[in-house]
């Protein structure tokens, strides 16, 4: 059975025949809570992967009442969050707690900080840099960004900017960051959901052997990414937007 990745939910998804797919949801977005009634009777279990630092306190907001929410792509809502300091596009703690109590819902980890770093490892297809990533890095204007890419801070050892120069991050600093991020997530899950998650979806669908090895040491057993290199260890997913014809 194919597995879909869903981020912010748009009205067009409800016209799709989703019964033949397993559904996973990334980032912990409010629309995933708002539209839950459309998915609650899905024949397969629903898995929500949460970037825990993006889930803040707040009162429970109304669920779907006939009005459809404006749809935002990830580069838009991440810009609101990392550049403007807004978290309203995500579920808050009480909403996630309510969602987690449903019998057919599983909650997994999608990192804590969901952060990025510069690296000389270029993607197979170079894309325009999202404004939120560019501002997050705050790279010196003298650095030629065409020679580097902005990728997952967890999956790549990467480069740090110091006085206009690119300095390789040490192996120990990289591994310490992975451990720190994972510890923050697990403490968050224990505090607010009282569970020890075993499933993990990689931010930006990027991973490495070092990253996976450290996650396994924390007890994670199942991992998700798009187009994994090793399908015995990593479960593949496809983006729901690939099913749309428009």
For the domain that residue 226 is a member of, what is the CATH number?
Answer: 3.20.20.370
Contacts of 83 (CB under 8 A, 6+ apart): 131, 132, 135, 136
Does a structural domain hold residue 97? Answer: yes
The model's pTM is: 0.93
Does a structural domain hold residue 166? Answer: no
Number of domains in the chain: 1
Beta strands per DSSP E along the chain: 3-6, 22-26, 46-50, 105-109, 116-119, 149-152, 159-162, 165-168, 199-201, 222-226, 234-239
Does a structural domain hold residue 170? Answer: no
Give 118 or 229, the one with higher predicted confidence.
118
Does a structural domain hold residue 127? Answer: no
Does a structural domain hold residue 183? Answer: no
Does a structural domain hold residue 98? Answer: yes
Least confident of 44-58, 141-155, 161-175, 211-225: 141-155
pLDDT band at 230 (very low <50, low <70, confident <90, very high): confident
Least confident of 64-78, 84-98, 228-242: 228-242
Q: Running DSSP on this structure, what letter comes out for residue 65? A: S
Percentage of residues of the chain with pLDDT beyond 90: 80
Does a structural domain hold residue 150? Answer: no
Does a structural domain hold residue 148? Answer: no
Question: Which structural domain range is residue 93 located in?
Answer: 3-115+195-243
């Amino acid at each position: 059975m194919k597995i879909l990745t869903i981020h912010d939910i748009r009205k067009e998804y409800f016209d799709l025949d989703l019964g033949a797919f397993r559904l996973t949801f990334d980032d912990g977005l409010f629309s995933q809570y708002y539209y839950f009634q459309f998915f609650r009777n899905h024949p397969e279990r629903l898995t929500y992967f949460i970037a825990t630092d993006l889930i803040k306190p707040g009162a429970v907001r109304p669920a779907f009442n006939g009005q459809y929410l404006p749809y935002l792509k990830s580069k838009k809502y991440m810009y609101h969050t990392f550049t403007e300091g807004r978290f309203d596009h995500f579920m808050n703690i009480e909403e996630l707690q309510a969602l987690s109590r449903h019998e057919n819902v599983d909650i997994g980890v999608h990192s804590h900080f969901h952060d990025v770093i510069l690296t000389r490892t270029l993607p197979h297809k170079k894309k325009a840099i999202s404004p939120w990533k560019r501002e997050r890095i705050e790279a010196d204007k003298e650095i030629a960004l065409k020679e580097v890419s902005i990728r997952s801070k967890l999956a790549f050892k990467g480069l740090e900017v110091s006085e206009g120069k690119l300095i390789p991050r040490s192996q120990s600093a990289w591994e310490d960051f992975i451990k720190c991020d994972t510890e923050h997530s697990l403490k968050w899950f224990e505090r607010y959901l009282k569970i020890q998650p075993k499933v993990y979806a990689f931010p930006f669908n990027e991973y490495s052997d070092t990253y996976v090895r450290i996650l396994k040491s924390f007890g994670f057993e199942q991992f998700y990414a798009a187009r994994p290199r090793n399908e015995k260890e990593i479960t593949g997913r496809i983006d729901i937007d690939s099913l749309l014809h428009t």
